[in-house]
Structure 1
Amino acid sequence: MLPPTTLLFQTLLTAAAFTLLFSLPQLVHSHYHSSSSAPSTYTEWRSARATYYAPAEPGDPVGGACGYGDLEKMGYGKATAALSTVLFEKGQICGACFQVRCVEDLRWCIPGTSIIVTATNFCAPNYGFEADGGGHCNFPNAHFVFPIEAFEKIAIWKASNMPIQYRRVKCRREGGVRFTVDGAGIFLSVLISNVAGAGDMVAVKIKGSRTGWLPMGRNWGQNWHINADFKNQPLSFEITNSDGITLTSYSVAPRDWTYGQTFEGKQFDS
């Protein structure tokens, strides 16, 4: 039997995988891309499976395993996915984009269709079931969980657990990279969202007018943190995506920034 702390942790992860937060500012709206957009690919097609979830009551205090909160207000809409452990990479993958298509089932697949979704959440394993039984997100399964609105773009909802193929593609975004600043005192937390190109960050640095460039640590998902006094200093950010491309946005936040604000910087090529 698992210890109480482990059970509590798994319960919190499961809750975070399927609910959203409604307190963040309104940002740009995303949309579905069809396969005709011919996105640049990073990987070849790979096999996985996919299920869906219906809308749930918004009660998650942390806004999902990537920390984006209300996906509609953050601009991701319904074109999103929760990923199983083998794909989630401990949150590194948050913000990455995948093209997904339904395969092998002529009865339930919608022919000639595909969708592009952003990784925004984690599908926690359920070890009460075998990986080839009800434990869809158990290791080593490659599994996607979509909102039903996204699932129905490629398959009929009655199909439930569908074989799919997926591949990494470049993310296309409207507007610049978003930096949502939070914290208290000398603890500074920054949520990085609306990232084009590779979409997922591997390194972040911050600079005030009275500091040099300081590395930030990944807190969880695409939330990055540092302990430093940046009061009354404009904030600049240097972010590196998983392709190794670095983007620098100078003085994104003005000198009089406050916690809870969102600022827009430059954008990667998409």
Structure 2
Amino acid sequence: MGFAAKSYCSLLCMLVLLITISYSRGSYVSSRATYYGSPDNLGTPTGACGYGEFGRRVNGANVAGVSMLYMNGSGCGACYQVRCKIPKLCSDDGVKVVVTDYEEGDMTDFILSTRAYARLAVPNAASKMFHFGVVDIEYQRISCRYPGYNLKVKVHEYSKFPGYLAVVVLYQAGVYDIIAVEVWQEDDLKWKCMRRAFGTVWDLPSPPSGPLTFRAQVSDSGSTKWVQMTDVIPSEWKAGVVYDTPIQLS
């Protein structure tokens, strides 16, 4: 006998929350980082988080792929301060990056975009930095900030109206990880759990009709809360369209 949808969603939230607590913000953590090649120095539109073009340019294209910090997708959208530890070559502040992909390297926690990797260095020293390839770093979870932007909900390109809906939440500020998403089922007067398809893409076959109201369960260093987005997607929604909300997480 399987779990009911609501029970499954609650169990999944608890499991992800335990993982999230293990990687909560605090002091700097020592690790290593490298970079991936890109002809335009931007991120990739095919990242494992499912951000698409947003993942190429968000945060000035200072983005990164991670391995352990990916956390089955709940780590997508998290922001980190990363700084390297080579005397006279590395800048004091390093670079702030947004997680947009899953990547594995040579004992590295971060695979940085070319642009982000260059910003680890002091001015006019980026070319020397690239000779190292892999560098020792330290990193810390920090708050994401998107001045002038509220949360946005994108209907993923995989969606097919009206029978299959997949959504991605963009511009999640603060230090929150999204660990569950539910949609309001007006006919049954209850919340219906969406499935994490991959990364930060949440999907649902046979979605409700009418303007759609969502709520996301978010975690901040072990505490959780629900954030509701009322009537954010219209009845005649379209794949690939981004819809604005009046709320933000920070």
Please give the TM-score of this superposition, normalised by the length of structure 1.
Answer: 0.70
Name the SS of the counterpart of 2:54 in structure 1: coil
Provide closer, same or farther for how the CA distance between residues 189 and 150 of structure 1 changes in structure 2, counting only shifts above 3 A: same
Partner deviation per Cα, 1:69-106 (whole Å, 9 max, x = no partner): 1236763431110112x222222211111111112x21
The alpha carbon displacement at 1:56 in A equals 4.4
Provide closer, same or farther for how the CA distance between residues 75 and 148 of structure 1 changes in structure 2, counting only shifts above 3 A: closer
Provide closer, same or farther for how the CA distance between residues 239 and 64 of structure 1 changes in structure 2, counting only shifts above 3 A: same
Please give the residue correspondences for 1:92-111 in structure 2 after superposition, counting only pairs within 5 Å: 92-103=74-85, 105-110=86-91
Residue 251, structure 1, aligned to residue 231, structure 2:
yes
Please give the TM-score of this superposition, normalised by the length of structure 2.
Answer: 0.75
The alpha carbon displacement at 1:149 in A equals 1.2
Uncovered stretches (5+) of structure 2, i.e. residues with no partner: 1-23
* Runs of at least 4 residues off by over 4 Å: none
Which residue in the other structure is 1:180 paired with?
154
Counterpart residue type for residue 178 of structure 1: K
The alpha carbon displacement at 1:269 in A equals 4.2
Please give the residue correspondences for 1:85-164 in structure 2 after superposition, counting only pairs within 5 Å: 86-103=68-85, 105-110=86-91, 112-124=92-104, 136=106, 141-155=107-121, 156=126, 157=129, 158-164=131-137
Counterpart residue type for residue 113 of structure 2: P
Partner deviation per Cα, 1:118-171 (whole Å, 9 max, x = no partner): 1101113xxxxxxxxxx51xxxx3421111211111223333211110111111
* Residue from 197, 210, 227 that aligns with 2:174: 197
Verify the 8 A CA contact 1:68 1:74 in the aligned structure 2: no
* Residue from 62, 65, 74 that aligns with 1:82: 65
Name the SS of the counterpart of 1:247 in structure 2: strand
Write the distance in 1 (CA, Å) between the matches of 2:246 and 2:54. 21
The alpha carbon displacement at 1:226 in A equals 1.1
Verify the 8 A CA contact 1:83 1:119 in the aligned structure 2: yes
Counterpart residue type for residue 153 of structure 1: R
Provide closer, same or farther for how the CA distance between residues 69 and 48 of structure 1 changes in structure 2, counting only shifts above 3 A: same
Sequence identity (%): 29
Partner deviation per Cα, 1:13-32 (whole Å, 9 max, x = no partner): xxxxxxxxxxxxxxxxxxxx
Name the SS of the counterpart of 1:55 in structure 2: coil
Partner deviation per Cα, 1:1-59 (whole Å, 9 max, x = no partner): xxxxxxxxxxxxxxxxxxxxxxxxxxxxxxxxxxxxxxxx82211011111123148xx
Name the SS of the counterpart of 1:77 in structure 2: helix
Counterpart residue type for residue 70 of structure 1: E
Counterpart residue type for residue 119 of structure 2: K
Counterpart residue type for residue 169 of structure 2: I
Name the SS of the counterpart of 2:232 in structure 1: strand
Write the distance in 1 (CA, Å) between the matches of 2:234 and 2:203. 19
Please give the residue correspondences for 1:204-215 in structure 2 after superposition, counting only pairs within 5 Å: 204-207=181-184, 209-211=186-188, 212-215=190-193
Write the distance in 2 (CA, Å) between the matches of 1:51 and 1:73. 18
More helix by share: 2
Provide closer, same or farther for how the CA distance between residues 56 and 200 of structure 1 changes in structure 2, counting only shifts above 3 A: farther
Residue 230, structure 1, aligned to residue 230, structure 2:
no
Counterpart residue type for residue 120 of structure 1: T
Aligned residues: 211
Which residue in the other structure is 2:243 paired with?
263
Which residue in the other structure is 1:217 paired with?
195
Write the distance in 1 (CA, Å) between the matches of 2:63 and 2:116. 8
Provide closer, same or farther for how the CA distance between residues 44 and 267 of structure 1 changes in structure 2, counting only shifts above 3 A: farther
The alpha carbon displacement at 1:198 in A equals 2.2
Verify the 8 A CA contact 2:45 2:53 in the aligned structure 1: no
Provide closer, same or farther for how the CA distance between residues 261 and 166 of structure 1 changes in structure 2, counting only shifts above 3 A: same
Write the distance in 2 (CA, Å) between the matches of 1:172 and 1:253. 24
Provide closer, same or farther for how the CA distance between residues 247 and 80 of structure 1 changes in structure 2, counting only shifts above 3 A: same
Name the SS of the counterpart of 1:242 in structure 2: strand
